[in-house]
Structure 1
Amino acid sequence: MTELYCLLSAIPIIAFIFSMSFLKKSIGVAALISFILAFLIGRCILGASLSMLFSGCLEGLWNTFIIMVVVFSALLLYELLEKSKMLSALSQWVGSHIEDKVDQILMIGWVFTSFLQGVTGFGVPVAVAAPILTGLGVEPRKAVIICILGHAWGGTFGTLGIAWNSMLLQLPDGHDVYMGQTILYTCILLGIYNFICGLLICALYKGKKIKARELMAVALISSVQSMGQLLFALFFNESLACFLASAASMAVLYVWDRSLCRGRTPVSGKRGSGRNGSSHSNAGSVPVVDMGFPFFILSAIVFLLVMPTKFSAALEGCRVGMPVPDPGGGWTLYGAVSVFTHSGTILLTAVAVSFWFYRRKKYLCREDTGKMLRNAGRKTVNAVWPVLFLVMMSRIMSGSGQIGFLASGIGELFGGWVGFASPFIGILGSFISSSNMASNILFTELQLRLSQMQGLNAAAILAAQTAGGSVGNLVAAGNIVLGLSIVGKGGEELKVMRFMAPVCIAIGAVCGFITLLVCQT
């Protein structure tokens, strides 16, 4: 009977994969189908009460709302920078001040995309940076591959830590005691992943053996990003760890290039090209403070909030959650979050201040306001409504026992190799949903149950899940389709996938072996 329940519990996830891969349904339709199946299996086969199912739906609704605030704020920031021409100005400034050609590719394809991933995500880094690389003379398909390699490592702590926070939301109360250890293991896996991708970017652009100088540049950038992300996540703020580490690596690469290329004649090329190949001749007159104003404000707000003061403590104490029915017939508060110190609130505040600043400096006109809100709102709805059904499915599968049966079946299938398989579960989630966030929503509790049943290090298994979700960004169809469409190479998705798939499997195997070793010590 247990084997039968295990197979039945797998039906919603199998249906999700089948709907997207074979029926060619959108992620939203696939998520809706899977939610309905999870609901019916929980109610009709496993005997879950209507109260429990209703509670799971409310929990999913609340988690989705929290995610939606971050998504909307991130997309609104992108619209603000796009409408004010700050992205074009920032890109041209980088192209004008980095003299070595390989350093330019690393700056735009790796460091700048990581920087954008820190606060935007959802394919925005690839869409923005790939055309800049083509303007620097990189072949379009290769430019898309470079940008995907460059930003994918930031899938966990990027977008203001939305994937990381989504993972935390799936954990039962009291399971955050080993979060420091999970951060450590996650950053180690992502650091190795980051270094490999840096080497691949150099090799892909050069098409020949990497020189010692380029190897040193990759090692330097990867060290700053990986160690910076670890330190910021452990001691400062997980939601800004990728953003701050990437900003630090941008400064380091700039100093590296200027110190080694001093006195050289700058390389020639189509630097400063915008998304449509235009020159943005006004970009050079934009002060650096104006270009980076939203990021300066964002950093300042977070710094003020994390300082141990009575003001920050009062703000942190203002929390709201979703009332949900409990088994005893009463109501309990689920998923309480701080209103004023939440990542979405912080980012939305930075966007509001930046909007006022750009309006005052005449970078924006009155008509831009409506366009920004409409564009961000439309993209938010498209990104979030599939997440709603995925989250509700996850909560229902957890409450009705489906996750427990699945964990039992996978544990028996892989036995002592569960640690090796864990990153591939995360990769699978990102591959089918094009989102590390969705992967963590789908499989976090499954991975936790696996670690408990097998007596494994839960922190290492959770780290493998979310790091695997980041690795899965390499083969996420959304990033590939968006990037190729932007550079005018739509229809070449299969060629990109053929390059990315072996890379993804190889990095997943490296993460799997490391996780296996940690779990056996």
Structure 2
Amino acid sequence: MDNLGVLSLVALAPIVVVGILLVGFRWPAKYAMPLGFVVVVLAAAYVWEVEPVVIAASGIQGLILACGLLYIVFGALLLLGTLANSGALASIRATFTDISPDRRVQAIIIGWLFGSFIEGASGFGTPAAVVAPLLLALGFPAMAAVMVGLTIQSTPVTFGAVGTPILVGVNDGLGGSAEVERRVSVLGLEMPDYIARIALDAAVVHAIVGTLIPLLLACMLTGFFGGRGPRGFADGLRVWRFALFAALSMTVPYVVVAGLLGPEFPALLGGLVGLAIVVTAARRGLFLPGTPWEFPPREEWQPRWTGTVRPEGDVAGRRMHPGRAWAPYLLVAVLLVLTRAVEPVQEFLTGLSVDFDGILGTEVAESLQPFYLPGFILIVASVAAYGLHRMNRTQIAASWRVAGKQLAGTAVALLFALPLVRIFINSGENAAGYESMPLTLADGAASVAGGAWPLFAPWIGALGAFVAGSNTVSNLMFSLFQFSTAENIGVAPEAVVAGQAVGGAAGNMITVHNVVAASATVGLLGREGDLIRKTILPMIYYCLAGGVLVYVLAT
């Protein structure tokens, strides 16, 4: 079977099956992902002719990755349960109510600004796992809280985890290629300077497209969880001054940092600077809407909006000083920056790894770094809260019990989703002589697009992130492909690779295991399809607008 079109359709089959079941039929991920897993195993075995031992090893690799993700989810659940049982959430909620009772304003400050800072420090889907429970504690419906946490997984993601998607994804994806080295030489640059140029192109595209994300977020919040029809979405537009102010407060320093300091700190410093500017302005009433917007009364909420975690009922009547209440979250932020930005600390923690080399005698390998993953930091913050908040044994035991119970419901979906991803990616090791399934899909798309390819470059990045759940992995898979395609059609390859990075960030809004993990933190399992139906809208906007800008830059 050498027909590229047919191979592309076969490679697309697992994604289509999962998409139809999740989004079309609204199946829970715990049922959709096992079927997707079966389809990818059949495609790998009978079309790509991947050896059974490689399929099995890839599945084990996926299980190892799933354990790492479950570790992060558990940490987020434990921190939420700890703060709920200590009474800190009541004070945290009061802090934001004092700034503004407007839910649109709260979503923008916590999601867009605080979430961008956490993304810049950590990555790994941590922002949604932190933002969603925090919004839930403020009184947001569980589905609205997760939607906010996922939607902001866009603009800051390319520079998440202190620039990992660029420094590892793009750099290693392009590394060792003679054609890339020739291009770098023609431009009179060194490779680090060339990577920094790609990063700056990506930052410019992100800043232009991302400036509308807070306003779009407000419209989605009011339209999906407020009044019915056009009037509901119009309520979001009424916060346009504050939304654009908050957007620019992050995106302007974001681009400046990308130009001056490189790819490590745009999201981290952009989020931090924006947070300081916007909170200060909001406390003084600047740019705030005249009439605060609130969700309908709880008795009018649709059943699908709510989850099984309801921390607000646990904190009634208890208060503590805001500084003490916020201390665990501040500790999370400090530890994330310390472990990501201070190289000796990072090297020490990443060196404490559990390695799985040559799984089942194949070349498939994986490792876990239990003290570097955000899950460990979230657990440390939870333990610190026991003393800071003077918790007793009963409260501590309750927080662990709730976290463990919620985690169990997440496991099935993730224990099939991650093996599916690894088999899909590792399918390049085959007897049929085909490229891996992701590269086959990209080749098929490029053959159709021709000279208009820059318009489609972000979509391939989004596809890679949707499948792999990672902008970094998407960039590793497709950066060289994007570079080569751009050279073949005679456009600037660095702009097209930047489009890959932008699309890879946008794809994080809909990637299944991010949706599952974030949903687990608020007890919203089984509604993944409903969430993807919502977050696919900003993802489409991001790829369309990003594609146009990449086309302009490239041509």
Matches within 5 A, 1:118-517: 118=118, 120=126, 125=131, 129=135, 132=138, 148=147, 152-155=151-154, 175=174, 180=196, 183-200=199-216, 207=234, 217-227=242-252, 245-246=270-271, 248-260=273-285, 282=317, 285-305=319-339, 313-324=347-358, 334-335=365-366, 340-358=371-389, 360=390, 365-382=395-412, 384-400=414-430, 401-403=435-437, 404-425=439-460, 437=469, 445=477, 449-455=481-487, 456-457=493-494, 459-470=497-508, 472=510, 504-517=539-552
- Per-residue CA distance 1:388-417 (angstroms, 9 max, x = gap): 233223233343333233222111112223
Match of 2:109 in 1: 111
Contact 2:45 2:51 in 1 (8 A): yes
Residue type of the partner of 1:287? H
The correspondence for 1:6, drawn from 2, 5, 8, is 8
Most deviating of 116-125 and 216-225: 116-125
In structure 1, the gaps of 5 or more residues are: 135-139
Residue type of the partner of 1:463? A
Deviation at 1:478, TM superposition (A): 7.3
Change over 3 Å in CA distance of 1:297–1:108 after alignment to 2: same
Identity rate of aligned residues, in percent? Answer: 15
The correspondence for 2:41, drawn from 24, 39, 42, is 39
Residue type of the partner of 1:2? N
Match of 1:137 in 2: none
Contact 1:406 1:446 in 2 (8 A): no
Distance in 2 between residues matched to 1:44 and 1:279, nearest whole Å:
53
Contact 2:22 2:28 in 1 (8 A): yes
Change over 3 Å in CA distance of 1:471–1:519 after alignment to 2: farther
Residue type of the partner of 1:72? F
Deviation at 1:316, TM superposition (A): 4.6
Number of positions where the alignment pairs a residue of Structure 1 with one of Structure 2: 488
Residue type of the partner of 2:87? K
Residue type of the partner of 1:377? L
Distance in 2 between residues matched to 1:149 and 1:366, nearest whole Å:
29
Residue type of the partner of 1:252? I
Distance in 1 between residues matched to 2:406 and 2:345, nearest whole Å:
32
- Alpha-carbon RMSD across the aligned residues, in angstroms, is 5.2
SS at match of 2:251: helix
Deviation at 1:83, TM superposition (A): 3.0
Distance in 1 between residues matched to 2:169 and 2:279, nearest whole Å:
40
Q: Which structure is higher in RCO with an 8 Å CA cutoff and minimum separation 6?
A: 2
Match of 1:518 in 2: 553
Contact 1:9 1:405 in 2 (8 A): yes
SS at match of 1:399: coil
Deviation at 1:153, TM superposition (A): 2.2
Match of 2:182 in 1: none
Distance in 1 between residues matched to 2:269 and 2:203, nearest whole Å:
14
Distance in 2 between residues matched to 1:150 and 1:9, nearest whole Å:
30
Change over 3 Å in CA distance of 1:303–1:147 after alignment to 2: closer
Contact 1:150 1:201 in 2 (8 A): no
Most deviating of 313-322 and 227-236: 227-236
Distance in 2 between residues matched to 1:5 and 1:49, nearest whole Å:
18
Distance in 1 between residues matched to 2:357 and 2:50, nearest whole Å:
20
Deviation at 1:20, TM superposition (A): 3.3
Residue type of the partner of 2:48? L
Deviation at 1:256, TM superposition (A): 0.8
In structure 2, the gaps of 5 or more residues are: 120-125, 176-191, 223-231, 299-309, 488-492
